[in-house]
Amino acid sequence: MSSSLPSPPPAPSSSSKLTLHFLDHSRAETILWILEELQVEYEMKVYSRGSNYLAPKELREIHPLGKSPVIVHNSLVIAETGNIISYLLRTFDSHTNGVFSPKDLSPEMDQKNAYYLHYAEGSLMPILVNKLVFSKFPEMSPWYARPIITGFAAQVNKNWLDMELKKHLGMIDGDLQKTGSSSSWFCGGEEPTQADFVSDASPFPPFLATFVSLTYTPLSLSPNSSPR
Ligand SMILES: N[C@@H](CCC(=O)N[C@@H](CS)C(=O)NCC(=O)O)C(=O)O
């Protein structure tokens, strides 16, 4: 019987072509992070937002909604941040020995990992988008209505959105604390899982601050996988 170690899984094929359509200041930053972690070769096409903060119409040639992130892997068009994250993990995590998709999670951690993938866009993001929209109300309103609209937007923010957000951040902080001091990730391991990748899409600064304080070192940022 041979005592040699099993050979590592093959690296993602160089013939497989992956393109990340990257809009500035967008959730596409999260996809960049996971692509680097997975050491996948990719190309990046960068788009700039217009003065209205919307994506340029060229993105609609990739996907009917014209949003970012969207990736094209070979000829497959894959949209929605959570969907892209789970696709990339399913397709490429074996190359990094599955460290970002641990199979030995307790039922509680496994559920937390699944929950946050859906929660980020389904529950947290609507609050953040509402905050953004209401913050734009005053500057978008005609001058004669501005004082009333400004007051209304402030009330919605204070009495609804900020109270909701406080509840959400309490839950997130509680979940991160439950993993104890040995890990800064949602599922308590040494590497991030999909719950962490998708949560980095959150633009809310206090939440991001949690990540900034991490002492985490990416697995590898190999020159071969740098964006071209
Ligand atoms: N639910 C989608 C949201 C995609 C989305 O709204 N992306 C924003 C950037 S983070 C965008 O493309 N905005 C420009 C626009 O709507 O024109 C996802 O998770 O990917």
For 129-175, how does the pLDDT look when each residue is reduced to its tens digit (9 = 90+)? 999 899 989 998 999 999 999 999 999 999 999 999 999 988 988 88
pLDDT at 153: 94
pLDDT at 219: 42
Q: Give nearest CA residue, ligand 1 atom 18.
A: 80
Cβ–ligand 1 distance for 202 under 6 Å, the answer: no
The tally of CA atoms less than 13 A away on the side-chain side of residue 192 is 24
Check: CATH 3.40.30.10 for 18-100? yes
pLDDT at 12: 54
Cβ–ligand 1 distance for 23 under 6 Å, the answer: yes
- Segment 96-111, tens digit of pLDDT: 999 999 999 999 999 9
pTM: 0.82
- Segment 197-222, tens digit of pLDDT: 998 744 443 344 444 333 334 343 33
User: Is 8 a residue whose pLDDT tops 70?
Assistant: no
pLDDT at 13: 53
Cβ–ligand 1 distance for 120 under 6 Å, the answer: no
pLDDT at 226: 36
- Segment 181-197, tens digit of pLDDT: 678 899 999 999 999 99
pLDDT at 38: 95
In one-letter notation, the amino acid at residue 32 is L
pLDDT at 15: 58
Residue 21 has phi, psi (to 5 degrees) of -90, 110
Confidence band of 116 (pLDDT split at 50, 70, 90): very high
pLDDT at 50: 94
Ligand 1: residue of 20, 24, 27, 47 to mutate (most ligand atoms within 8 A of CB) is 27
Residues 6 or more apart whose Cβ sits within 8 Å of residue 178: 188
Residue 71 has phi, psi (to 5 degrees) of -120, 155
Average pLDDT value for residue range 71-95: 96
Alpha-carbon span 77 to 81, nearest angstrom: 13
Q: What residue segments make up the domains of the chain, in order of their start?
A: 18-100, 107-217
pLDDT at 100: 96
pLDDT at 173: 86
